[in-house]
Amino acid sequence: MQPLKTTEPSPFLLNTEHLCLVAIETDDFHSNGLWAAGSPTAYRLTGSENLPVSNTVFIKAMSGGAAHQNPVWDSSRKVPAEHLDYGYIEKCKDVKYLEKILRVLRSGEEGVYSHLTEFCESHLEKLQPKSRALRKETSAATAASFSKDEWSQILQELQTWEEDTKRTDMLLKQDLFDDLVKSKMPPVRGSRCLVSPSQSLFPEARKNPSKRAVPRGYREWDKFDVEKECDNIDGDVLKKDPPAILDTQHPKLKQEADVSSLLSQRQKLLLANREKDKGNEAFRAKDFKEAVTYYSRSLSILPTVGAYNNRAQAEINLSRWHDAMRDCQQVLELDPDNKKALLRRATVHNHMGNVQLASEDLRGVLRQDPYNIAATQLLSKIEEKMSECQLEQEQRSKKIFIEEVEEENSCSMKELQTACPAQPSQPVGGEERFAAPAERRDMGNTQKKPHSRGDGGPHTESSNSHHHGHWKSKGNSPDKYKVPQESKEKVANGSDKRGSTASVPGDQNNSSKGTAGGGKFEESANLDAPCGALPPQLSRLKNEGNLLFKNGQFADALDKYSQAIQGYTDSGLDSPQDLCVLYSNRAACFLKDGNSQDCIQDCTRALELQPFSLKPLLRRAMAYESLEQYRKAYVDYKTVLQIDSSVQAAHDSVNRITRMLIEQDGPEWRQKLPEIPLVPLSAQQHRREEPPSAEVLQARVEKAAREAERRADVLFPALKQEGNDFVKKGQYRDAFGKYTECLKLKPEECSIYTNRALCLLKLERFGEAKQDCDAALRLEPANKKAFYRRALANKGLQDFLACSSDLQEVLQLDPSVQEAQKELEEVTVLLRQSLADGSKEHRRTVLIREVDGDEDTTAVQSNCTGAVSINQKPTSAYDFGQSLNAARCSGNTEACAELLASTSPEQLPRYLSTQLDGHTLSFIMQALDSHLLEKNPNLVYQHLHHLHTADRFTVVQLLQDMDTHHHMTQLFEHLSAVESAEFTKNDVQNLANKYI
Amino acid sequence: MTFPQVIAHIQKSLNYTVFDSKWIPCSAKFICLGNYPRGTGVIQIYELQHGEAQLIKEVEKPKPLKCGTFGATSLQQRHLATGDFDGNLNIWNLESPEVPVYTAKAHKEIVNSIDGVGGLGIGDGAPEIVTGSRDGTVKVWDPRQKDLPVANMEPVEGETKRDCWTVAFGHAFNDEDRCVCAGYDNGDIKLFDLRNMSLRWETNIKNGVCCVEFDRKDIDMNKLVATSLEGKFHVFDMRTQHPVKGFASVSEKAHKSTIWQVRHLPQNRDIFMTAGGAGNLHLWKYEYPAKRSKQDSDGMDVGVAGSVSLLQNATLSSQPISSLDWSPDKQGLCVCSGFDQSVRVLIVTKLNLV
């Protein structure tokens, strides 16, 4: 039947057909981004629009004949038949015209050419993939559009949902909280001014009819004066009723969702998820603030891991590091292995400057999911950063290093990496660590906040690329920038004797007050506070300047400081400290005003008066940076870091400038730097003491540990530096002493061990040197310097065999080390001699012979089958490789099995790495299968579990032959038949997938 | 194949003209509203059972029913509010649908459109229902207040009354704020602010406005989609209102015929489906611009419109599809009804991957 034949047809239907015509005519009208401007008067009748359109049609017909002469085709013209041609279409670049051609082709007016149509479509797609002409009508998908699995999955999902939702439906009906919810509802609109919504509406309403919604026209609504109406109503009923109900101020979205606690768990979950979804959507729209609000609402209804996690991410995007940290921690409390939370915490750590903790978290992620791309990327970035910091910290010392010592920059960075996995990152342990930052923040000004580096300095852009203006508006204080270390800066300016905050050079905005609106500080009462040796009128000027500075009136502050300086010179005082402070403060004003030149001048003056004072240096550095004199800025920042290595802003800037300079000057940028002045120890500052918190004992203990660590951080490079100096001067005994002290501070520092080993070698204490090398190698198994020095020590101890194996190791790590090459040759000769002497070195007969032949000596072995003695306790990759080769050449799978049994699975990939080839792999498989599997299936599994991580494994795997494949399949079959507590069939299956 | 696919899962032919279909929240049931050939109205309740839509209840009403909503009811009650051809607003308890729990003679003529807010945990504030009618008025009702609307938007005396085709709630993100958007047959779109009781914004999109919907009712208004008679739809970015230019918008020509309905996916506000007069459905995604607002020459904030991209389309029938409703509980599940006198349950796949 005809659906439109209802008694009252829908209003839409009447006009539809009529207007469809219009739609087709105006088809080419694209109005993307057009303002839907205007008022109803701007409305035109569709009929009048039709007229010009038909006019063009008429003109088109008229000019049709002249079409041939015109090479450029107006897209409004009719398409001539010649253009329906492969050649023409291919050359045509006019998307609109192509669309037109396609329309003609599809219509079949000129005949049906399916290939040409396809060709035209594909050509158009190349030019404009989003063209509307390419949209094809498709019918609904059916089971045939999906693979069998997909289809059954879709149906299965629906089925499960159906069952679940029916259960929920039933349960919902049993919930009986409705009345309670109702009682919390807001009153009926228009009845707001009543005392209580529970009171009867009607008597009041009759008295006061305007209160009830009186029908109004929209013109009337326009003129509706809310305040007046309210007053009318209020005046009648309740004078005291606050007009706040209809205030004009835009009310904010509530942070907490107002949910009755009586709501059932089910409903809560439902609501919480809905709020979370809203948060997600806001997040996708990049409205992170709103997202955080919605996540908070969701959490206030029902705390879930997902919402915490998402809020953390949103907070990260807003650069609210501490909040993000708290959320990550919440997640990890609920779910200690949550990858996302770990990853996000790592990001937060990274931004807060705790690279160590960040890399620890990332390792945690990678332990669960070794292929996590985000984690891998971030980790490598962090490592880069760490190495960069390291490089720069040692940059100064590099110049005076002797060559051997110099190389170790690279190892100290590696040491950090290797040290990390050594400390298991337990979530519980992590929490304790977090407690500290959060707490310290509360304590205010003693803790520097890397994230509040503020809007004044030029250095926020690069590191936090996703700042979104939000927090800028929040950072109301003009100069959060140098919140760090107030007390310390007092020292720097020699003004530590003065207690009042007002006397602190102007730009200190105590972070404890940092959140307070702007500038209503109590200091105004303190204007006359005495300042050092300044006469009262000058101190007053200075304090006024400070106050003005804090209030952001930099120009006025500048005046005051200038007056003070003038007054100072006039009075002929002799107090360089105070003058320095004045210059420094004026420099800050200049900096704020963007007058970098004058800022530099003032800073230089201040520094002449008081060399190595921190703030003028920092300001000058910033000024240089803003003038793009990066080299000078770099030098200043480095000097700042020498004075106090904890100035985060300086660290960041140094990193950034390094990048700039590398870009600018290439890899030799360091040579173009002016000299960085050495800061005398007396000027170097240790981190200030933190006031002990009376509350948490644990926190205090922790802080003490941190303190010690920090002190070590400062002391350590100095000691090392001195040690290196001594080495350079040839005073090895003194250097040894220094290095030993270093190790007391940081027993984990690999480079110190190698350096000390060098001293010991020079002192001919070979035994100790060897011990140090061993220690270094324990920390960093691939340290070639340690190998090399151990080789020397071994040589000194007359153990040529060990010496040569160490040298081989060095050469394996880096074939270009010529000293090692030379040394090896020498040792080989010595070794031969010692053999020839008949001094029996029975322990490793095979090895010795192999060293003789150097490379592929195993061929020698092949004829003496069976009776090969194989070193079953490999200590190095070299040993292992030799033994393995020996076993393989003799086809002795048993020996290989024994060898594998005595090798720890973790070491296997490293031992194998360079030697792995198809035959070796096949041989190992056989050995595992035939001998080891029966005795110790767990070990086999462990070996297999680690073997595939070997360097060349993937390559070998690609090139493996049938035989190897066969052996592998067999091995895994056997392995999966074994029952074990240590691994399941699934594990074996997963592993097998990696191999086969 | 990462694009969503539209599957016509269930198709059910009906013996009446169906005008509206809606999922009952938190259930596997949906309702159909319509008009028997003999001129009476009908409510049918269907339930999904093992891949079939089973009719579990049918009630005949004296007047044909045009539109319905669950928007203003609690999750326990799930009462259905309907508007009929006679201008009545009724609220039905679907457990016992014989007698309405609330009734009001809302309009003089047919109620074209209805929407609710404040229930189902969607949107803060009082539960309210808005109706738009051919008599040109838009009225807001509170089920707790009998007979009289709590707000009424009608043209002033003497002005021609335009046929109001569609109404929608939005901006209900706290107890006080709430907006009603109404679309008229002459292309007018009007946005009423219920908090200040004022007309906040109006525009004209030249062709009759068939459907308007906010992407979400319960947030600070974000986007508004308005579909029109000649097959075009407009997406307004409602975050930034310029005093003169109003809201920025992007328009897209999608169907060759009237776009009858637009519905945003409850699980993702940036995805929406339009239903066309030629029986086809188009699935769209809105992409935000890099910055949603900028400063114009006078230093005023103006919005910047994003773009829409077509994700999928599907032709289901030759007759218009007049109603469309996403399941609030199951992502991708959707019911639609058309003038070919059938109701369909659709599954849209892979919406979570878009």
Within 103-162 of A, beta carbons closer than 8 Å to B belong to 130, 132, 135, 137-142, 145-146, 154-155, 158-159, 161-162
B156 with A282: Cβ contact below 8 A = no
Residue A108, amino acid: G
Provide the pLDDT for residue A546.
Answer: 82
**SS (HEC) of A931-944:** HHHHHCHHHHHHHH
Distance, CA of B16 to CA of B11 (rounded, Å): 15
Provide the pLDDT for residue B17.
Answer: 92
Pairing verdict, β B138-141 and B151-154: antiparallel
Taking each helix axis from N to C end, the angle separating A596-609 and A614-626, rounded to the nearest 10 degrees, works out to 150
B109 vs chain A: nearest CA distance in angstroms? 10
Residue A667, amino acid: P
> For the residues A906-931, what does the mean pLDDT come to?
77
- Say if residue A854's pLDDT is above 60: no
- pTM for the full predicted model: 0.49
For A53-76, write each residue's pLDDT tens digit: 333 333 333 333 333 334 444 445
Contacts of A505 (CB under 8 A, 6+ apart): A489, A493, A495, A546, A581, A584, A585, A588, A615
- Say if residue A833's pLDDT is above 70: yes
Rg, C-alpha atoms of chain B: 19
Provide the pLDDT for residue B236.
Answer: 92
Task: Calculate the CA dihedral of residues A278, A279, A281, A282 and round it to 10 degrees.
Answer: 120
Within 158-217 of A, beta carbons closer than 8 Å to B belong to 158-159, 161-162, 165-166, 168-169, 172-173, 175-178, 181-182, 185-191, 201, 212-217
> For the residues A25-45, what does the mean pLDDT come to?
34
For residue A167, give both structure tokens.
Answer: 């259960």
Distance, CA of B311 to CA of B349 (rounded, Å): 11
> Within 10 A of A690 (CB to CB), how many other CB atoms are there?
17
Please, which pLDDT band fits residue A34 given cuts at 50, 70 and 90? Answer: very low
By the CB < 8 Å criterion, does A708 face chain B? no
By the CB < 8 Å criterion, does A281 face chain B? yes
Provide the β-strand partners of residue A954.
Answer: none
For B313-323, write each residue's pLDDT tens digit: 888 888 999 99
- DSSP reduced 3-state for A518: coil
The least confident of A24-38, A609-623, A770-784, B208-222 is A24-38
For residue A704, give both structure tokens.
Answer: 């003490």
Q: Which of B309, B233, B290 is nearest to A129 (CA)?
A: B309
- Say if residue A481's pLDDT is above 80: no
CA distances for A73 relative to A64, A68, A93, A101, A794, angstroms: 11, 10, 11, 12, 88
Provide the pLDDT for residue A484.
Answer: 41
Task: Specify the DSSP class assigned to residue B70.
Answer: -
Please, which pLDDT band fits residue B165 given cuts at 50, 70 and 90? Answer: very high
Pairing verdict, β B307-315 and B321-326: unpaired
- DSSP reduced 3-state for A542: helix
Please, which pLDDT band fits residue A420 given cuts at 50, 70 and 90? Answer: very low
Provide the pLDDT for residue A46.
Answer: 34
Nearest CA in chain A to B306: A33
A165 with B174: Cβ contact below 8 A = no
A548 vs chain B: nearest CA distance in angstroms? 29
Please, which pLDDT band fits residue A259 given cuts at 50, 70 and 90? Answer: low
- Say if residue A198's pLDDT is above 50: no
Distance, CA of A585 to CA of A950 (rounded, Å): 60
For residue B227, give both structure tokens.
Answer: 């579909």
Contacts of A744 (CB under 8 A, 6+ apart): none
In which order are the strands placed within the sheet that holds A216-217?
Answer: A216-217, B151-154, B138-141, B128-133, B111-117
Within 230-269 of A, beta carbons closer than 8 Å to B belong to 245-246, 248, 251-254, 258, 267
Provide the pLDDT for residue B19.
Answer: 93
By the CB < 8 Å criterion, does A1 face chain B? yes
- DSSP reduced 3-state for A732: helix
> For the residues B325-338, what does the mean pLDDT come to?
91
Signed CA dihedral, A397, A399, A401, A403: sign only: positive
Tell me the Ramachandran region of residue B322: left when phi exceeds 0, alpha when psi lies from -120 to 50, beta otherwise: alpha
- Say if residue A202's pLDDT is above 70: no
Distance, CA of B221 to CA of B215 (rounded, Å): 8
CA distances for A395 relative to A52, A382, A658, A671, A873, angstroms: 77, 19, 12, 11, 42
For A74-103, write each residue's pLDDT tens digit: 445 677 777 777 888 888 877 788 888 888
**Which chain B residues are closer than 8 Å to A271 by Cβ?**
121
Distance, CA of B338 to CA of B316 (rounded, Å): 9
**Of the partner residues B121, B206, B248, the one whose CB lies closest to the CB of residue A43:** B206
DSSP string, B170-201: E--SSSS--EEEEEETTSEEEEEETTTTEEEE
Mutate one of A5, A13, A20, A468 to test the B interface: name it (highest B CB count within 10 A).
Answer: A20
Distance, CA of A99 to CA of A134 (rounded, Å): 8
Provide the pLDDT for residue B182.
Answer: 92
Provide the pLDDT for residue A434.
Answer: 38
User: Do the Cβ atoms of A226 and A245 come closer than 8 Å?
Assistant: no
**CA A441 distance to own-chain centroid:** 22
B126 with A189: Cβ contact below 8 A = yes
Provide the pLDDT for residue A239.
Answer: 34
**Which chain A residues are closer than 8 Å to B259 by Cβ?**
none
User: Do the Cβ atoms of A911 and A949 come closer than 8 Å?
Assistant: no
> Within 10 A of A499 (CB to CB), how many other CB atoms are there?
10
With tokens 């061990």, the residue in question is: A753
For A980-993, write each residue's pLDDT tens digit: 777 777 877 887 78
Provide the pLDDT for residue A260.
Answer: 52
pLDDT over 90, % of chain B: 41
- Say if residue A212's pLDDT is above 60: no
Longest dimension (CA), chain A: 126
Distance, CA of B25 to CA of A266 (rounded, Å): 14
**Which chain B residues are closer than 8 Å to A254 by Cβ?**
124, 174
- Say if residue A50's pLDDT is above 60: no
Provide the β-strand partners of residue B314.
Answer: B281
**Of the partner residues A12, A44, A215, the one whose CB lies closest to the CB of residue B210:** A12
User: Do the Cβ atoms of A207 and B143 come closer than 8 Å?
Assistant: no
- DSSP reduced 3-state for A290: helix
Contacts of A318 (CB under 8 A, 6+ apart): A288, A289, A292, A468, A470, A471
Please, which pLDDT band fits residue A701 given cuts at 50, 70 and 90? Answer: low
> For the residues A356-382, what does the mean pLDDT come to?
79
Provide the pLDDT for residue B65.
Answer: 93
Provide the pLDDT for residue A221.
Answer: 56
Nearest CA in chain B to A49: B206
> Within 10 A of A114 (CB to CB), how many other CB atoms are there?
8
Tell me the Ramachandran region of residue A870: left when phi exceeds 0, alpha when psi lies from -120 to 50, beta otherwise: beta
Element of type H or E holding B283: strand B280-287
B333 vs chain A: nearest CA distance in angstroms? 9
Give burial (CB, 10 Å; 0-12/13-18/19+) of B181.
buried
User: Do the Cβ atoms of B232 and B259 come closer than 8 Å?
Assistant: yes
* Residues found in chain B: 354
By the CB < 8 Å criterion, does A859 face chain B? no
Task: Specify the DSSP class assigned to residue A501.
Answer: G
Signed CA dihedral, A346, A347, A353, A355: sign only: positive
Pairing verdict, β B293-295 and B259-265: unpaired
Provide the pLDDT for residue A515.
Answer: 37
> Within 10 A of B85 (CB to CB), how many other CB atoms are there?
23
Provide the pLDDT for residue A753.
Answer: 83
Distance, CA of A298 to CA of A308 (rounded, Å): 9
With tokens 């002497």, the residue in question is: A837
Element of type H or E holding B293: strand B293-295
User: Do the Cβ atoms of A735 and A772 come closer than 8 Å?
Assistant: no
For B28-84, write each residue's pLDDT tens digit: 999 999 999 999 999 999 999 888 899 999 999 999 999 999 988 888 788 999 999
> For the residues A419-444, what does the mean pLDDT come to?
38
Provide the pLDDT for residue A445.
Answer: 40
The highest-confidence range among A551-565, A851-865, A882-896, by mean pLDDT, is A551-565
For residue A166, give both structure tokens.
Answer: 């029916």
**Which chain A residues are closer than 8 Å to B188 by Cβ?**
40, 43
Angle in degrees, CA A703, A705, A707, rounded to 5: 70
Contacts of A461-464 with C-beta under 8 Å, sequence gap 24+, read: A462/A652, A462/A656, A463/A351, A463/A652, A463/A655, A463/A656, A464/A319, A464/A351
Mean pLDDT of chain A: 66
Longest dimension (CA), chain B: 62
**Which chain A residues are closer than 8 Å to B5 by Cβ?**
141, 145-146
Provide the pLDDT for residue A406.
Answer: 37
The highest-confidence range among A38-42, A264-268, B151-155, by mean pLDDT, is B151-155
Pairing verdict, β A216-217 and B151-154: parallel
For residue A957, give both structure tokens.
Answer: 């795997």
Distance, CA of A268 to CA of A274 (rounded, Å): 10
The least confident of A434-448, A659-673, A775-789, B92-106 is A434-448
Please, which pLDDT band fits residue A912 given cuts at 50, 70 and 90? Answer: confident
A43 with B202: Cβ contact below 8 A = no
DSSP string, A736-795: HHHHHHHHHH-TT-HHHHHHHHHHHHHTT-HHHHHHHHHHHHHH-TT-HHHHHHHHHHHH
Distance, CA of A390 to CA of A382 (rounded, Å): 12
Rg, C-alpha atoms of chain A: 40
**Of the partner residues A6, A26, A135, the one whose CB lies closest to the CB of residue B17:** A6
Element of type H or E holding B236: strand B232-242
**Which chain B residues are closer than 8 Å to A188 by Cβ?**
126, 142, 144-145, 150
B246 with A37: Cβ contact below 8 A = yes
Please, which pLDDT band fits residue A699 given cuts at 50, 70 and 90? Answer: low
The least confident of A851-865, B194-208, B311-325 is A851-865
Provide the pLDDT for residue A508.
Answer: 40
